[in-house]
Amino acid sequence: MNVIEIAKIVVGILLVIGSLLSLLSTYGLLRLPDIYNRSHAATKAATLGIMSILVGAFIFFYFVDGLISAKLLLGIVFVFITAPVGGHLIARAAYRTQVPLWEKTIKDDLKRDDLKRDKRMTKKLKKAAENQ
């Protein structure tokens, strides 16, 4: 049993783990109740699965063909950076366009912070009006 056989087995296991994580993220996307929960499933689990698959492909090309693929490394870094950023932007857009939360949600920190900021702004405006 030489190095290539062992590398092939490791690559196969990494690819199966990655696709199972991707399937898990799809299950979460189908079953979770509202958009904010779904964005967790869609961005985090899918990112981990795809990174596992890309690392498997990198190991395959390194041991079988003997080349270090800079394109795959760049793809790993790019997916790792951009997928959570996209999920955050979509969740923010959903909150600002008043997509309703799940009815069993008990805590809304963003709403509390908005109320606090509004109160502070009105106090500041009142003070400015008094000074004039």
Q: Which residues bind another protein (CB under 8 A)?
A: 8-9, 11-13, 15-16, 18-20, 22-23, 25-27, 29-30, 35, 38-39, 42-43, 46-47, 49-50, 53-54, 56-57, 60-61, 64-65, 67, 69, 71-72, 74-75, 78-79, 82-83, 85-87, 89-94, 96-97, 99
Give Cα 18 to chain centroid, integer Å: 15
CB of 80 to another protein, least distance (A): 10
Burial grade of 10 (CB within 10 A; 0-12, 13-18, 19 or more): middle
**Smallest separation (angstroms) from another protein to the CB of 114:** 15
Give residue 98's region: left, alpha or beta (phi > 0; psi -120 to 50): left
**Residue 92 or 119 with smaller CB distance to another protein:** 92
